[in-house]
Structure 1
Amino acid sequence: MTLTINLTNNEKRVLLALSKKDRFSPEDLAAASELSTEASMQSAFMLAEKGLCEIKETVTTTYNLTKEGEQYAQISLPERQVMNSLKEPLSLSELKKKFPPQMVGIALGWLRKKNWVKIEGDRIIPVEKAEVGEDENILTKLRKGPLSDIGEAVKDLIKRNLVEKTEKKSRIIIITSAGKAIAAKGLTIEEEIVQLTPTIITSGSWKNARIRPYDIHTPIKPIYGAKIHPYQRLINEMRQIFLEMGFTEIKGDIVQSSFWNFDALFQPQEHPAREMQDTFHLATECDLPEEYIKPVKEMHENGGGISRGWGGKWSEDVARKQVLRTHTTAVTIKYLADHPDTAVKAFCIDRAYRREAIDPTHTPEFEQLEGVVMDKGVSFKNLLGCLTEFYHRMGFDEVRFRPGYFPYTEPSVEPEVYIESRGKWVELGGAGVFRKEVTLPLGIKQPVLAWGLGVSRVAMLRLGLKDLRELYQSDIDWLRKSTVV
């Protein structure tokens, strides 16, 4: 009787209807219980949870021809049409005279896949008699109407958008022995109060009415408040730390000249970083800053009196070519050139682009945190202190620096932090003091401390991710459950 007491009126109606027949479809159950299909099925699912009925689902799959599939079912597949025309070897140009170029492209791929032809240079040579394939048989059968039982070759036809797959779900509702026992004892459908209102309370009508039981142990639906994306929160945190340390944030263009991206940083024009595997080169060019052309050229070719330079001939044409910036150093070096006589503490946290293969630790576009300090008397020791303070504020207790090499800084280091959970040191960027070959051609006479830190790598450590791509995926569950602090 306990179960009967806890049944809603709709559940009672559905249970009484189920007791009159062995099985019901959703439509039949709605009619028998005098409820809508949605309401009757909702009650049926609640009864199923209580073990009073069963809901059996079956999925029926059918296959139909698309409009394009109907066309090829009548006149044959592109590869069959081309194959039928190949009485002898033909050149590709001759074949394109017989058929539309787009159709030839489709046909050649499938001709090779089915081993009906071989291609030698520009000649298409039929190999052997092409037997009718399973995919062609399927198209022939589907001309007569939809089918449910069909061969494996239909997968290729679906990929080619010649056949579409349709799934239809059907349900049957059956009363259980426990449900029959309760229905046999009799169920009384009486008016019940679902929600108390001020009128019901003040009138006292609730005293003689049945109030629907409320289960205080039923789990409530979780509520997720709006919040900033975890990656953006981390970027904001980094920005705030440098602002609190007295730095000024600067911005710059995504499209940069090779001059500011490479030449101003004393990277030789034949450096591998300029090749296509690393840099996104654009077909456009731009003007060069006239006042820096001669000193930069002299520094590259002859060393400007302080080194041997790179030798060879420095080309203005190469320097004019535009690229997607490969690092935000292109922004900070231009800022320094525009402010050569004043003390500078500046940073740029923005996106950079490189021609990288996508894998768990690399993407073609990524965020970089670039910073510079320029002033009289600043030293390498100041650089290490500044970066140590930053990483401590980011929550990394142990920081160390390993000697490194970069074309435009000397000395150079790679900051590392110790990750307790991984039991190892992790490198997070590069830093150093700008070489005089970089600063002197731009009129900068004071020492410059510079660094470029990988934002996404810090994000992976802070957020416990093993794959960088997770930062950019539309995983709403991960976003909802990510902690704000």
Structure 2
Amino acid sequence: MADLTLNEKKLLVALAPLGEAGAGDLAAALETTEEAAVQYANLCAEHGLAAVERLSTTTYTLTPEGEEYREHGLPERQIYESFADAISMKDLQAHPLSRIGIGWLRKKGWVAITKGVAEKTGEAPAGEDEIALVDPKDGMSGIADLLKRNLVEEHEAVSYRVAITPAGRALVEAGLDLVEETGTLSREEIITGSWREAKLRRYSLETPPKRVYPGKVHPYQRIIDEVKRVLLDMGFVEMQGEIVQSAFWDFDALFQPQDHPAREMQDTFYLDQTEPMPEGWERVRDMHLCGGETTSTGWGGVWDEEVAQKCVLRTHTTPLSVQYLISHPKPPVKAFALGRVYRREAIDPTHLPEFEQLEGIVMDDGVSFRHLLGFLKEFYNRMGFDEVRFRPGYFPYTEPSVEPEVWVDGLGWVELGGAGIFRQEVTAPWGIETPVLAWGLGISRIAMLRLGLKDLRQLYRSDIEWLRESPAIRRQE
């Protein structure tokens, strides 16, 4: 048994005269912690020298609410005793505990409700839950109901008993070498060579070390940072903007008609505030009504200034592009924004009411639709998607428009956003005559594909186990 460490040998020596002992007694004898004593005992058990028994004891204590009900009675008991044989539901609901107790009165069959009157059905003897409330040991069958009602808390106490086996006793009787072992060499021992005389602790490569969970960047944040790094490397600058935008910037400036379904309350989060119209808003109004001074005919109909002044939680990051172009009207421009956007979506594995969107624009003389496809393909290639294709799409503010797709093994072609060239109805009101390539891409969907997730909500949950197991992937330069 040369594989035994000094601590294991000490445990066997301490255990031999006792036969068996609790982990606490062994820890005191070895002058260590109970956790360490159990660890040494388990190592001895692997060699067949000791047996370790885990003992678990469950106890129950009342919560503050449970303590109150033990003194005054459960809500249904208090209500039951507050009236004689019958009571109107109106009066019954006036009881301060009615919201909690009426349901339990009916569930336990203590009352029957007919035509707005609650009438007692007979005797209401104390149930198992009431017995358990007085003393949990006397009403164990009622504990389950009290746990569901958060009136008691469950506590588990774990202890360990360790017994020496015949093989362990024989080893102790044969004699064990208890010479102190060296587990870590100092600088002086290495330099002087004194380590050669030291008794070194055996080291097993087969024993897995204790897992260490270091701090790391959240997997989703890591992908967001990677996206920004890719675009910065491609020569883009990052633009910033407010989450709260006026409907003018979120919709009107992007030539989205005021009667468009996406602007309705069921699709947009409207706020109870307004924002003044910016300078030059009249040109946007004219563009909607008649096409302004361009060849466009506009949308016609009615354009309401009050509608445009309403504030919303931005539904996309595209308003930032228009605002950036107004402040940087001269080419060349290459900019992107990556931020949270909000839409009134039903929550399911692939949809959330808030998510991250990547916005990008390129303005320069001579840029064309072919350049747009090239930028998008280069971006997706750098994000790890080798196969990229495009299919025609439609958006109110770009023409021509496309929807990029990437190939994912096991899923096929997956659509990841929309792109196109800003229409003259978007750029002309601000005096911009140079072509502007634009795109809006869903970063959360990219993250799902990269991380192999099937539920978008996983990106935002505080799942410690998932965070621990997610590898800290580094970019390959």
Q: 1:249 aligns to what?
A: 238
Q: 1:368 aligns to what?
A: 357
CA distance in 1, matches of 2:43, 2:75: 54
Relative distance call for 1:398 and 1:203 in structure 2 (3 A) is: closer
SS of residue paired to 1:187: coil
SS of residue paired to 1:432: strand
Q: 2:416 aligns to what?
A: 428
Q: 1:11 aligns to what?
A: 8
For the 8 Å contact 1:70–1:143, the answer to whether it is kept is no
Q: 2:467 aligns to what?
A: 476
Q: Is 1:397 matched up with 2:386?
A: yes
Q: Is 1:388 matched up with 2:388?
A: no
Kindly provide the CA deviation profile for residues 30-53 of structure 1, in whole angstroms up to 9, marking residues without a partner as x. Answer: 456676645533322221222211
Q: 1:317 aligns to what?
A: 306
* 1:63 to partner: Cα distance: 1.7
Q: 2:42 aligns to what?
A: 45
Q: 2:20 aligns to what?
A: 23
SS of residue paired to 2:469: helix
Q: Is 1:447 matched up with 2:401?
A: no
SS of residue paired to 1:268: coil
Relative distance call for 1:82 and 1:225 in structure 2 (3 A) is: closer
Q: How many residues align?
A: 470
Q: Is 1:89 matched up with 2:88?
A: yes
Relative distance call for 1:186 and 1:323 in structure 2 (3 A) is: same
Q: 1:126 aligns to what?
A: 118
SS of residue paired to 1:326: coil
CA distance in 1, matches of 2:113, 2:241: 51
Q: CA RMSD in A?
A: 3.4
Relative distance call for 1:83 and 1:272 in structure 2 (3 A) is: farther
Kindly provide the CA deviation profile for residues 275-317 of structure 1, in whole angstroms up to 9, marking residues without a partner as x. Answer: 343322222222111421x222333344447455444432222
Q: Is 1:460 matched up with 2:448?
A: yes
For the 8 Å contact 1:57–1:171, the answer to whether it is kept is yes
CA distance in 2, matches of 1:315, 1:466: 43
Relative distance call for 1:148 and 1:212 in structure 2 (3 A) is: farther
* 1:403 to partner: Cα distance: 1.1
CA distance in 2, matches of 1:434, 1:312: 23
Match for residue 263 of structure 2 among 274, 297, 320: 274
CA distance in 2, matches of 1:119, 1:254: 52
* 1:211 to partner: Cα distance: 4.3
Q: 2:156 aligns to what?
A: 167
Kindly provide the CA deviation profile for residues 239-289 of structure 1, in whole angstroms up to 9, marking residues without a partner as x. Answer: 233333333321111111111111211222232222343322222222111
Q: Can you give the 5+ residue segments of structure 1 that lack an aligned partner in the other structure?
A: none
Q: Which segment drifts farther, 192-201 or 321-330?
A: 192-201
* 1:332 to partner: Cα distance: 0.7
Return the letter of the residue paired with 2:129. I
Return the letter of the residue paired with 1:328. T
For the 8 Å contact 1:83–1:126, the answer to whether it is kept is no
For the 8 Å contact 2:50–2:163, the answer to whether it is kept is yes
Return the letter of the residue paired with 2:134. R
Q: Can you give the 5+ residue segments of structure 2 that lack an aligned partner in the other structure?
A: none
CA distance in 2, matches of 1:137, 1:345: 72
Q: 2:51 aligns to what?
A: 54
Return the letter of the residue paired with 2:429. P
Match for residue 185 of structure 1 among 144, 165, 174: 174
In the superposition, the TM-score normalised over structure 2's length comes to 0.85
Q: Is 1:150 matched up with 2:144?
A: no
Kindly provide the CA deviation profile for residues 31-85 of structure 1, in whole angstroms up to 9, marking residues without a partner as x. Answer: 5667664553332222122221111112121222222212112322224434554
For the 8 Å contact 1:346–1:373, the answer to whether it is kept is yes
SS of residue paired to 1:88: strand
SS of residue paired to 1:433: strand
Q: Is 1:141 matched up with 2:132?
A: yes
